[in-house]
Homo-oligomer: A and B are copies of this chain.
């Protein structure tokens, strides 16, 4: 038992396999619906070996969440300081976030699932952390756009940011269901969707009399 209580820095091969298997299963079915035996089976190891690396089921879950968060917030920095108008930068940020979400479906599902369970104090804190990060950057960007007289002054920047995030998150969440609703073709093309959403949103935020 080397590094426990989710203070990971270096993982062995076996530990990595356990984390991956756990992430897959936890994202698919949720905490309680996944047994340690199932994780062990998918990771091609034994149940006691999991307890050799993690002190209990909850500790394993937290470790999975932490790696998910780390991965999610890593890809965020790239799109931040692009050039162009705030409309363009905002659109870039939004499409980037959606691409990020769809590129890490398991992590997203994991985090999104936490928003629906009242208990698990720790899980909600983690969620708040990763959500708050994206949120703050978006709010700041919108606010700068207002100071630059590009966006209307009478809209709440936090609300605008929230709308962008909600459009992306709900797109991900509702995809499997919307797939079966024939009218919604946009669900199959994330970039078209992102484009359309930001078109309406930006158009609604722009000052009148600008380009």
Binding site for B on A (CB under 8 A): 28-33, 109, 112-113, 115-119, 124, 127-128, 131-132, 135-136, 139, 155-156, 158-160, 162-163, 165-167, 169-171, 173-174, 176-178, 180-181, 183-186, 193, 196-197, 199-205
Are A29 and B117 also in contact (CB < 8 A) when A181-B128, A197-B159 are?
A: yes
Q: What would be 26 A-B contacts, judged by CB atoms less than 8 Å apart?
A: A30-B30, A30-B32, A30-B33, A30-B117, A33-B33, A112-B116, A115-B173, A116-B173, A132-B181, A135-B184, A136-B183, A155-B199, A158-B185, A158-B186, A159-B196, A160-B200, A163-B200, A166-B169, A169-B170, A170-B170, A200-B204, A200-B205, A201-B201, A203-B203, A203-B205, A204-B204
The residue among A31, A118, A128, A174 with the most chain B CB atoms within 10 A of its own CB is A174
Contacting residues, chain B, for A33 (C-beta < 8 A): 30-33
Closest to A34 in B: B32
Complex CA gap A30/B120 in Å reads: 13
- Residue contact A159 to B176, C-beta cutoff 8 Å: no
Are A116 and B124 also in contact (CB < 8 A) when A170-B169, A201-B204 are?
A: no
Complex CA gap A177/B127 in Å reads: 8
Q: Which of B31, B177, B202 is A131 in contact with, Cβ under 8 Å?
A: B177
Are A139 and B176 also in contact (CB < 8 A) when A29-B117, A112-B116, A200-B204 are?
A: no
- Residue contact B197 to A163, C-beta cutoff 8 Å: yes
The residue among A115, A119, A173 with the most chain B CB atoms within 10 A of its own CB is A115
Closest to A30 in B: B30
Contacting residues, chain B, for A169 (C-beta < 8 A): 166, 170
Q: Which of B109, B118, B124 is A28 in contact with, Cβ under 8 Å?
A: B118
